[in-house]
Structure 1
Amino acid sequence: MTAIISNPLDFNVDDLYVDLCPTIGRRVFLKCEGFNFAGSIKLKAAAEMIAAKERSGDLSPGSTLIESSSGNMGVALSIAAASRGYRFVCVTDSRCNRAARRLMETLGTEVHVITEPDPEGGFLGARLAHVRRLVNSNAGYLWLNQYSNESNWMAHYRTTAPENAKAFPEIDILFVGAGTTGTLMGCAHYFRENLPAVKVVAVDTVGSVSFGRPAGRRLIPGLGTSVRPGILDPSIVDDIVYVSEPDTVRMCHQLSGRGFLFGGSTGTVVSGAATWLETNGIGDDVLSVAISPDFGGNYLETIYDDEWLARSFGSKLLPAELDPAR
């Protein structure tokens, strides 16, 4: 069927899943959320947050939006702002992929790059402090604040969660990555209210403070935080699994070895799902779904680059059968 659109927000593939059994040997279906003009799941939240501000009268033609982002949300908001006629200022940091920064700038976004982390709040804390300074000195700036904005998770309550329930009525477990926790909270609220038998498992990165663990070094943008998100309610999450960044990289290369080029957040989620299922002795009679936030095109100079991997994690990171230089 032919599709004709006049706005980039009008296109998103929401019903494509990858069977992960050939890759990880488990009955897990991966929901691909990168088939839209932003290339990630963040377009859903970006559109919802802007729409909510428009409904409340906080946004008008010529307004300037500002947000902190490690990459994907910045790109999504750049597209959404351009399509709606708003200026957008994105505050990111040095871990943001160069491709994402260039894309934002091409779309007209003013990008501020933070190069020094806050001693206590890390790069996210430093980004948020910079956002507050800009808002305080520019009366026309509107901060969406995805970390505390309920429209962030409401976007996934209305779309992502029911899409999974419709595609797999017999779903037992849902694995969701924890970044701003918008996707996680939207899905957890939905299944708690509508299908409480479904277990929602959060996948976080080692070094993230979201669920109370100590902060640590994190080089891959996307999942994990150095400041706990205001919208996070751990009480509605059934379990948490932590994934180290080396394991994220290994899973990304395992998937790319089968022709699936996914981003770091997706590698983390899939690795976490495989680990949790094995640790808990889950068999093939259980059906699991995992959410893939993005694809791997923006990670070619990091996760899929030999020199970056050696510099960041050492030369022995990948097993010989996964070594891209083999």
Structure 2
Amino acid sequence: MHEHIAEAVKTPDLISLQPDLVCLRFETMKIYSALGAVRHLLESGAVAPGDTLVDSSSGIYAQALALACHRYGMKCHIVGSTTVDRTLRIQLEILGATLEQVRPSQDLRLDQELRVRRIAEILADNPSYHWMRQYHDGIHYHGYRDVAATIAREIPDGPLALVGGVGSGASTGAVATYLRETGRDVSLVGVQPFGSVTFGSEHVSDPDMIIAGIGSAIAFENVRHELYDRVHWVNFACAMSGAVELLRTSGIFAGLSTGAAYLTSLWERRQDDSRTYVFIAADTGHRYVESAYARHAEAQDIDVLKPHEITSLDELKHPWSAASWPEIRDREAVGTRP
């Protein structure tokens, strides 16, 4: 029996779509990150029950941190993106978390910069607050060890490919790291929107693809570029088509990043069928109903979609590009550490 709802909803479902294609489906993935981080902070004495934790979020981390704070008796303050909808706002209010949203913006860089700037102001006025730094603090890796253990236990021995939105880097990076520590052969495939600086696509915009959770307009220290073997840049039309097709064929109702990861997994699997492909569904599709699912009549036949394989970031283009990341990273020094 679970002691708290956060412990119950964090558990993912492993859904076999085909013998070598598995969906790792979460109701809200970042609860693992938030619970693991808050527990670590309490155990280390960095914070105490009753303290206020503050962070920036585009949506699912806000709910995760609010639940983690509720679980451990902490106070929670969120500086939210414009993508935080009314349903989540009401949940946060009832859970006791406070939320302030930055002014509306269709620009990912401006949205993230405004949130970070506001956090700096809050910390200056409230020095006792603890900034969770979900984008930069490695404590957010800790919670995903259990996810890796679940995959290792449920999926038979053999080579794996883990596919998912990169975002802060903690989810895909951590799961792949912990699986590799067991000796498992794991290929890590990251999914990015165009316009994200994380893997060097900031010069190619995609106004429709406002998915702050998988891309970044500022550098994220939790993204460990050396962990990734392949990177796919997917635009809104392709991600929406993947999400619609996933729902149509499997009944899995998930977010746009899942649609992009599903599309990516199918392509990578066609190129190398020696692995079992596990793609991450980080959240449900509810907040994408109006922006994506309501446009399902526009969805393309995913069987005819294929990426443009690139060898240089100058070659990036819509609607979908892909690359062997180590080759580009070594040549162009994107994501290399001094």
The TM-score by the shorter chain falls in which range? Answer: 0.7 to 0.9
Aligned pair partner of 1:234 in 225, 236, 247: 225
Matched, 1:174 2:162: yes
Q: CA deviation at 1:159?
A: 1.3
Please list, as runs of the form range in 1=range in 2, the aligned pairs for 1:269-280 lying within 5 A after superposition.
269-278=261-270
Matched, 1:253 2:250: no
Cα deviation digits, residues 87-107 of structure 1 (max 9, x gap):
211111212333222322232
Please list, as runs of the form range in 1=range in 2, the aligned pairs for 1:39-50 lying within 5 A after superposition.
40-50=28-38
Q: CA deviation at 1:212?
A: 2.0
Aligned partner of residue 257 in structure 1, secondary structure: helix
Aligned pair partner of 1:202 in 190, 210, 218: 190
Q: CA deviation at 1:12?
A: 4.4
With over 3 angstroms needed to count, the CA separation of the structure-2 counterparts of 1:14 and 1:78, relative to structure 1, is closer
Amino acid at match of 2:73: G
Aligned pair partner of 1:267 in 259, 262, 274: 259
Partner of 1:162: 149
Partner of 1:86: 74
Aligned partner of residue 239 in structure 2, secondary structure: helix
Aligned pair partner of 1:128 in 88, 93, 116: 116
Cα deviation digits, residues 95-122 of structure 1 (max 9, x gap):
2333222322232211111125598943
Partner of 1:317: 298
Aligned partner of residue 214 in structure 2, secondary structure: coil
Residue pair 1:90, 1:111 contacting (<8 A) in 2 also: yes
Residue pair 2:66, 2:76 contacting (<8 A) in 1 also: yes
Q: CA deviation at 1:197?
A: 2.5
Aligned partner of residue 220 in structure 1, secondary structure: coil
With over 3 angstroms needed to count, the CA separation of the structure-2 counterparts of 1:159 and 1:5, relative to structure 1, is closer
Query: CA separation in 1, counterparts of 2:66 and 2:266?
Result: 34
With over 3 angstroms needed to count, the CA separation of the structure-2 counterparts of 1:52 and 1:118, relative to structure 1, is farther
Partner of 2:136: 148
Q: Is there any run of 5+ residues in structure 2 with no aligned partner, and where?
A: 303-338
Aligned partner of residue 189 in structure 2, secondary structure: strand
Please list, as runs of the form range in 1=range in 2, the aligned pairs for 1:113-124 lying within 5 A after superposition.
113-115=101-103, 121-124=109-112
Query: CA separation in 2, counterparts of 1:110 and 1:68?
Result: 12
Please list, as runs of the form range in 1=range in 2, the aligned pairs for 1:8-47 lying within 5 A after superposition.
8-12=5-9, 14=11, 16-21=13-18, 27-34=20-27, 40-47=28-35
Q: CA deviation at 1:128?
A: 0.9
Aligned partner of residue 298 in structure 2, secondary structure: coil
Aligned pair partner of 1:224 in 215, 223, 226: 215
Q: What is the TM-score of this pair, normalised by structure 1?
A: 0.83
Q: What is the TM-score of this pair, normalised by structure 2?
A: 0.80
Partner of 1:312: none
Matched, 1:295 2:288: no
Aligned partner of residue 278 in structure 2, secondary structure: strand
Query: CA separation in 2, counterparts of 1:282 and 1:320?
Result: 22
Aligned partner of residue 148 in structure 1, secondary structure: coil
Aligned pair partner of 2:293 in 283, 295, 304: 304
Query: CA separation in 2, counterparts of 1:109 and 1:133?
Result: 18
Aligned partner of residue 125 in structure 1, secondary structure: helix
Aligned pair partner of 1:105 in 89, 93, 107: 93
**Is the deviation greater in 7-16 or in 177-186?**
7-16
Residue pair 2:108, 2:212 contacting (<8 A) in 1 also: no
Residue pair 1:206, 1:245 contacting (<8 A) in 2 also: no
- Give identity over the alignment, percent: 22
With over 3 angstroms needed to count, the CA separation of the structure-2 counterparts of 1:13 and 1:70, relative to structure 1, is closer
Residue pair 1:177, 1:265 contacting (<8 A) in 2 also: yes
Query: CA separation in 1, counterparts of 2:12 and 2:106?
Result: 40
Query: CA separation in 1, counterparts of 2:293 and 2:263?
Result: 17
Residue pair 1:118, 1:125 contacting (<8 A) in 2 also: no
Partner of 2:272: 282
Amino acid at match of 1:162: A
Aligned partner of residue 75 in structure 1, secondary structure: helix
Partner of 2:335: none
